[in-house]
Amino acid sequence: MEIFYSEIVGSRGEDGTIEIKIDDLSSPEVTCLIDEHLKSMRRHSPPESKHALDLEALKNPEITFWSAWENKDLAGFGALKELDEEHGEIKSMRTSFAHLRKGVGKRMLLHIIEAARERGYNRLSLETGSMEAFAPARRMYETFGFKYCPPFSNYKEDTNSLFMTKEL
């Protein structure tokens, strides 16, 4: 079954959709969820293998950061980094605890894939952990056509990291 981007992502309304919007990373809700994300990465990844970006790094101009909202409740976030004119990297996707298993991650992933296509990227890649805690994320990426690949960009081989890519 093919899922169409426009059928999933839209403005929040009575129909139960999630609003995904470009975010300036200034709200306390976003700051708190980024902190939660970084704490989780420290719990599951050794320091030399932690690639999640902090608040300041996410403000880099080559990164677009989106937040996902259900009414006034932050449901999650995701970011897309431009590696070059044809290649983007998914960075720091996270769903808030209160919104787990509601499809927020899938909606954000579809949003990022569509943004990458609109920018003309030929490839979209990501780094994720090799530990069991990251298995649900890896399954989601696999479902959307991401394949395992060698390290890309500035990454190096690391037993704690797995690399995935999708041709667009």
pLDDT digits (tens, 9 = 90+) for 113-153: 999 999 999 999 999 999 999 999 999 999 999 999 999 99
Least confident of 35-49, 86-100, 153-167: 35-49
Q: How far is CA 121 from CA 27, 82, 85, 108, in A?
A: 30, 9, 7, 17
Higher pLDDT pick, 12 / 28: 28
Cα–Cα distance measured from residue 40 to residue 42, given in angstroms and rounded to the nearest whole number: 5
Phi, psi dihedrals of residue 136, rounded to the nearest 5°: -60, -40
All domains of the chain in start order, with CATH: 5-125 (3.40.630.30)
Q: Name the band, by pLDDT with cuts 50, 70 and 90, for residue 25.
A: very high
Q: What is the mean pLDDT of the chain?
A: 87
Handedness of CA 139, 140, 146, 152 (dihedral sign): negative
Q: How far is CA 19 from CA 8, 10, 49, 118, 136, in A?
A: 10, 6, 32, 19, 23
pTM listed for this prediction: 0.86
